[in-house]
Amino acid sequence: MSVLVGKEAPDFSATAVVGGDFKENFTLSSHRGKNVLLFFYPLDFTFVCPTELHAFQEKADAFKKLNTEVIGCSIDSQFSHLAWLKTPKAKGGIEGIKYPLVADINKTIARDYDVLIQDAGVALRGAFLIDEKGVVRHQTVNDLPLGRNIDEFLRLIEALRFHEEHGEVCPANWQKGAKTMSPDQKGLDNYFGG
C-alpha cells in the first residue's frame, strides 16, 4: 500500500451524484481552500456501507463547521448511486445522503489511492484527510468487514486545525480543549511534568 501522507492528493475528474443530480467532471481540485475527507467504500447495496454513509451524513454539520467537505467514492456507476439514494434507509438504502458520491466505474480513482482489491474488484474502506492545499494529512484503510468511527475523523480535523493555527502538536487521545505541547523536548517535559 502506498503512503500518500505528505503528498499531493491524486486529483480526479469523474461523474458524481450530488443532491440527486449527476454532476459531470466533478474534481477533487475544485475543493481547494477547504479540507476534504475522501472516503472509499466497497459497493452500493451492501451491508456495512450504508451504516457508514448514514453516519457521515449524521455528522455533516460538524464537518461543515470545520470547513471540511465529505466525498464518498465507490466503483459503482452514477446510476447505481442514484438508485441507492432513492432507496429508503429502512430497506438498506441511503436516502437522505447529501454529500457527493463519486462514480469510479473504471476503478482509476481507487487505483490512484491504492485501495483497490484487484481480485475482488472493489475498494477497501480507505479514508483520506486532505488539507486546504490539496495535501494528504491522514490516511486509514480498513478491511471490508470493519466499519469506521466517524468521530475519529472529526477529532483528527480538529487536531490538524489546532496545529495549523497554533503550531503546537496534539498528543495521543487529544480532544478539543485538552492540553497540547510545543514540538520539542521542553514541550514534552512540560506536558508530562504538569
Q: Is 49 marked active-site?
A: yes
| Residue 26 pLDDT | 98
Q: Is 117 helix (H, G, I), strand (E, B) or coil?
A: strand
- Active-site entry in 36, 49, 75, 123: 49
Residue 193 has pLDDT above 90, yes or no: no
**Whether residue 194 has pLDDT greater than 80:** no
User: Tell me: the pLDDT tens digits for 3-53?
Assistant: 999 999 999 999 999 989 999 999 999 999 999 999 999 999 999 999 999
| Domains identified in the chain and CATH numbers | 13-146 (3.40.30.10), 149-194 (no CATH)
Stated as kind and residue range, the H or E segment containing 64 is helix 60-65
Cβ atoms of 136 and 9 closer than 8 Å: yes
